[in-house]
Amino acid sequence: MSASNKITPEELDHIAKLARIDLTDDEKKTYLPQLESVLEYLDILNKADTTNIKPTFRVNEQKNVFHQDEVKESFSQKDALSTATKTKDGYFEVVATIKK
């Protein structure tokens, strides 16, 4: 591991504070080497040659799986509103839930 990946106890405290996590001294002794190990592995990944790798946000060739919106005939607006308690200008009228 390079010296730049060493995490100081102060940096661990700062990270824990940012994450709003209270760590005991025992937890700090446990997590410090684990965090350093993660950074060590990331350092290995950073050395991988990705020159000819096309950037992607998916790991497979899957395209947009959503279908186009299509209007399908159902029942009329008059039928939809036929059971409404109150209507106004062709819409359901409901009691306001947010008062001004």
Greater model confidence, 92 or 5: 92
Tell me the average pLDDT across 60-84: 85
Question: Contacts for 5-11 with beta carbons within 8 Å, 24 or more apart?
Answer: 5/36, 5/39, 5/40, 5/43, 6/36, 7/32, 7/35, 7/36, 7/39
Fold topology of 3-46:
Histone, subunit A (1.10.20)
Q: What's the mean per-residue pLDDT of the chain? A: 87
- pTM to 2 decimal places: 0.46
List the single range of 17-21, 52-56, 92-96 with lowest mean pLDDT: 52-56
